[in-house]
Amino acid sequence: MVSRSAITSRLKTEQVLRAIRLTPDTMPIDIILHTPGGLVLASEQIAHALNHHLAKVTIFVPHYAMSGGTMIALAADEIVMDLNAVLGPVDPQLGQYPAASQKPLDQIKDETLI
């Protein structure tokens, strides 16, 4: 249901929300989620809709679901992941800066450890 591309298009979000809304309350929803993330608002709306769906919601993560994709995955009743798949941190950004940061910019570190 959610494509590999980032969750950035308002039209994509509306299509996903419409599909969730039109799914009968007794019908389970299965979603294959592979995304680098995207707009926080879109992810929050989709997660909220999934959380309120009465039947079981299962998210399948074959490779990765980062940032907003993690928010969506965590709204499911069950997450099924490949052995090497990953969920990324929920790290909303405003431009190039972390949205929740209370530190001065010169004290912020953004490092990836492998």
Asked if the model's pLDDT at residue 56 lies above 90, the reply is: yes
Decide if 38 contacts 10 (C-beta within 8 A).
no
Sequence spans of domains, the chain: 10-107
Bridge partners for 58 per DSSP: 30, 78
Q: Which CATH superfamily is domain 10-107 in?
A: 2-enoyl-CoA Hydratase; Chain A, domain 1 (3.90.226.10)
Phi and psi based region of residue 37 (left: phi greater than 0; alpha: psi -120 to 50; beta: remaining) = left
pLDDT of residue 26 exceeding 50: yes
What's the mean pLDDT in 15-31?
A: 96
Q: Which residues pair with residue 87 across a beta bridge?
A: 65
pLDDT higher at 78 or 12: 78
- Read off the pLDDT of residues 70-87 as tens digits, 9 standing for 90 and up: 999 999 999 999 999 999
- Find out whether 63 and 35 touch, Cβ atoms under 8 Å: no
**Residue that wins the pLDDT comparison between 50 and 94:** 50
**Per-residue model confidence (pLDDT) at position 104:** 66
SS3 state of residue 19 = helix
Contact 52, 20 (CB under 8 A): no
